[in-house]
Structure 1
Amino acid sequence: MASGQVRRFHSIKAEWGCSKFISHKSLKEPCNGYLVDDNCILGAEVFVIKNQGVGECVSLLKDIECIKHEWNIFEFSKLGEQCSSKEFTVGDHKWKLLLYPAGHAREKGHSISIYLVSVDAGSFGRQKRVKAILSISVKDQISGAHHSSHWFSAAVAAWGWSAFMPLHEFKNPKKGYLVEDCCIVEADVLVVGDVNSLT
């Protein structure tokens, strides 16, 4: 009797088999020849084929806590093309905020651009990803706060908004976003899970 199947072995599933390989009745039936003089012979043919894909383990974190990071930016008018906050830690991962005071890419000259950057992502393996929920706002902003979730990986280490807020609105003295050449950016970051390779 033969049974052939293709199975994938990895660190979590290191063995495969058949719980109902052959019935006792069939095994003991003399005319089948499986059991002779109370002996039987078991054999296995194993062929290792090319790896067909990568297994992933998704972990949802328990007892997660949303961390609020406040970034005080002084002398806004003297900033260069881009600047970043100090690193902060959420969910055992390091993060920073990246600001383009005069806009990034197509929004240059039109809006301020803000991004959350995973500092650790550069050292992630090919399959490693971290899921974070983020909300970024300029302090005292009445409307227009942004809220989103994103998978951070080595390929995509930053996520945010190139058109976060129009420059004319941000610099309007009646709005109060930029006071005495200072603004305050707040980021609420919640890491909810990660993905790791099984291979």
Structure 2
Amino acid sequence: MDRKILIYPRGNGEGKGNSMSMFLCLDETTLPPDTKLFVKFLLRVISQTPTKSDDFEFKVENHFGPSCLNWGAQKFMSIVKLNDPKKGYLVGDTCIAEANVTLIGEVTTAS
């Protein structure tokens, strides 16, 4: 299961202009036909402050399949919070994001 994090720094959809949007995306070429994956995942933006105590997280359980190749939040984090130098999420032009993904199950509907 190949996956990547898709980030819109100035937002996407209802987050456009007010939030950073972040999604976990599955590469459809790595998904067998007629298969759905049920996953639990956490998307996180890491604080670059010395204490790293203010990491920002989004947790969800969802399925990925041919009709749903990405899932996340259009309003993951407000642009104001992202740009707050005291929080340390954006330092210079660097933002550190990570995904923690747990595969719960796989279902194949082909006969």
Asked if TM exceeds 0.5, the reply is yes
Instruction: Work out which of the residue numbers 81, 95, 106 in structure 2 matches 1:183.
Output: 95
Q: Give the match for residue 79 of structure 2.
A: 167
CA distance in 2: counterparts of 1:120 and 1:193, whole angstroms: 17
* Greater gyration radius: 1
- 1:27-68 deviation per Cα after TM superposition (whole angstroms, max 9, x unaligned): xxxxxxxxxxxxxxxxxxxxxxxxxxxxxxxxxxxxxxxxxx
Q: 1:123 Cα shift?
A: 5.4
**Residue identity matched to 2:15:** E
> Does the residue aligned with 1:168 lie in a helix, a strand or coil?
helix
> 2: CA distance between counterparts of 1:197 and 1:118?
19
- Residue in structure 2 matching 1:116, options 24, 32, 50: 24
* Superposition CA RMSD, Å: 1.8
* 5+ residue gaps, structure 1: 1-92
How many residue pairs were aligned? 106
Identical counterparts, % of pairs: 29
Is the 2:45–2:56 contact (alpha carbons within 8 Å) kept by the matching residues of 1? no
- After the TM superposition, which segments of 4 or more aligned residues of structure 1 sit over 6 Å from their partners? none
Residues 62-107 of structure 1: per-residue CA shift (max 9 Å, x gap): xxxxxxxxxxxxxxxxxxxxxxxxxxxxxxx111111111000121
1:94-144 CA distance string (max 9 Å, x none): 11111111000121000000000110368543x410111110111026264
Give the match's secondary structure for 1:155: coil
Q: Which has the higher strand share?
A: 2
1:134-149 matches, within 5 Å, as 134-140=41-47, 142=54, 144-149=56-61
Select which of 142, 148, 158 maps to 2:70: 158
What TM-score comes out, normalization by structure 2 length?
A: 0.86
TM-score, reference length from structure 1:
0.50
